[in-house]
Amino acid sequence: MNILIIHQGALGDFILSLPAIAALRHGHSGSFIELWGYPDILRLVEGRFYADAIASINRAGISQLYSERAAAPDGLIGRIKTFDLAVLFGGELQETFAANLRRHGVRDVYRISTFPAEGGRTHVIDHQLSQLSDMGIPAAGGMPEIFPGPEDERYAQRFLEAHQIEPDTFTVAMHIG
């Protein structure tokens, strides 16, 4: 099975979606998964557990999928037709996109509402996982996990050495933005 996952959120939003993406991977073991979004963010998971391939959402013709009954370029339609399942993370604006994916040949298209309703007391991760049951995917709770590759490990080692940080000491990294 070929699965398309579309996630256009920022880095923190994407990381909070990793447990749901992991549940999709486990629920469709052996499937090919391609993620569309912002490549600078998606590189975090490219060729690792979560994604077999990534592609930019900012490609020619993609914007046509946000217009009702708009004609996407033939090459894009051909690519869309290769997917059996599409999962779109996002709000109501994704409904038109989802309808166009169906119209262009994707058999099953689901939308995962990224955030709970205003005032809700459900954590974002739990909110996203709860929606997977509509797809028949068991959704156990989970923490986001990132799988660094050998290049990442070498970079971290060089960084720690350059800043004279002992590798065995407790280190905290924060990304604010």
User: pLDDT by residue (tens digit) across 60-96?
Assistant: 889 888 888 777 888 899 999 999 999 999 877 788 9
pLDDT value at residue 177: 56
Contact 82, 1 (CB under 8 A): no
The residue ranges of the chain whose pLDDT is under 50 are none
The CB density around residue 174, as the number of other CB atoms within 10 Å, is 5
Token code pair at residue 110: 């689901």
Nearest to residue 52, comparing CAs of 101, 113, 3?
A: 3
Q: What is the pLDDT of residue 4?
A: 97
Angle at 148 between CA 26 and CA 170, to 5 degrees: 115
Tokens standing for residue 90: 């996002």
DSSP H or E segment with residue 87: strand 85-89
C-alpha dihedral (76, 28, 18, 65), degrees to nearest 10: 20
- Contacts of 100 by beta carbon, 8 Å cutoff, 6+ apart: 64, 65, 66, 68, 70, 72
Beta bridge partners of 35: 5, 54
